[in-house]
Amino acid sequence: MPVISVPYAFNEEELYVDLRSIFGHSLYLKCEGFNFAGSIKLKAATEMVETAERDGVLTPKSILVESSSGNLGVALSMIAASKGYRFLCVTDARGNLSTRLMMEALGSQVHVIADQEANGGFLGARIEYIRALCASDDRYVWLSQYTNPSNWKAHYRTTAPEIARQFPRLDVLFVGAGTTGTLMGCARYFREWHRPVRIIAVDSVGSVSFGGPPGRRMIPGLGMSMRPPLLDETYVDEVIRVEEADTIRTCHRLARRGFLLGGSTGTVVSGASDWLARHDARELTAVAIGPDLGERYLDTIYHTNWLEDIYGKDVLNSREVHAGSWDSDAPVARWRRRLDLQTGDLNGDQHRQLQDRKT
């Protein structure tokens, strides 16, 4: 029985779901959301903070600041609360409201960027805000998950060896690409392993991480509006790009079997399932890394009104939307009424969006 004194000391490392019965292909999903931060980002956050402490960058007077679409922000909020640091998360209007409220409940401050930067999108605007903030006050310490080598080293040290122990005959590994910390850490580890492993990066359509035109992306997590500085494509064997509509359908398909998983996980599973369907995978041992759980997406990818507003009524057929759910809007409506007193400081877009959904 684990007994811990700090929340970042616990992380379930050996939980896998066999998805064959759902998707018809042998695919093992490594579920990374079972920790107090609720996602794989706990590993990178812990590594970056502890490295900064060892290097003397973080002091008791420091104020942590980071750009995050959500999951890393929650992980850093939890660590900052445990260690006694102040933390400011810079995010944008696409982030889930529940994620913002979670960070604030942990004592963090959240700044929401409403306008995109001309060339770098929301991400460019978030980074410019942080740079200006750090230039104005030397108490701010920016860990910079986009350039920090501790991001990928966390997964080289933990995630990849965990998979290797459970699957010594691993053939194919599917990894979602955001900052590419998980991707680069795992790819570097398996490049040095005793047998070749095919590394397949899963990206979102509209992301420019691996080239291609930028496009609208409404699901936070995977994808970038600029090339990830950590990315070294020589370690990647193949790239799969997944439409957000396919992410949503995959998440709902999993939920109908009792697995409520996050948008990043849905993207990775969708890409992996499609790849396996196009290849002779009968003799392959395939693993996909699932970064997050689904609770933070209840008001987005699991909410019918949001889906229809963003993607149209045909994104899910009626059977997928309504199977196993009765009066599904009622609990969400009650939840939103409980949030009424907490929405006074939302930015305009978020407040209007919330009010629209409530009506």
For the residues 67-80, what does the mean pLDDT come to? 95
Question: Does residue 334 surpass a pLDDT of 80?
Answer: no
**Predicted local distance difference test score (pLDDT) of residue 320:** 44
pLDDT in tens, 78-107: 999 999 999 999 998 877 888 999 999 999
pTM: 0.87
For the residues 105-123, what does the mean pLDDT come to? 82
User: Among residues 107, 78, 33, which one has the least CA distance to residue 260?
Assistant: 33
Confidence category of residue 120, pLDDT binned at 50, 70, 90:
low
Q: How far is 94 from 20, CA to CA, in rounded Å?
A: 33
* Partners of 172 in beta bridges: 198, 286
For the residues 56-69, what does the mean pLDDT come to? 94
Residue with tokens 């899910």: 316
Question: Does residue 332 surpass a pLDDT of 60?
Answer: no
pLDDT in tens, 241-287: 999 999 999 999 999 999 999 999 999 999 999 999 999 888 899 99
**Predicted local distance difference test score (pLDDT) of residue 355:** 43
Average pLDDT, the chain: 88
User: Among residues 119, 95, 121, which one has the least CA distance to residue 111?
Assistant: 95
Q: How far is 280 from 271, CA to CA, in rounded Å?
A: 16
Confidence category of residue 122, pLDDT binned at 50, 70, 90:
confident
Question: Does residue 206 surpass a pLDDT of 90?
Answer: yes
Kindly state the tokens that stand for 203.
Answer: 């990206």
With 0-12 CB in 10 A as exposed, 13-18 as middle and 19+ as buried, what is 196? Answer: exposed
**Predicted local distance difference test score (pLDDT) of residue 167:** 98
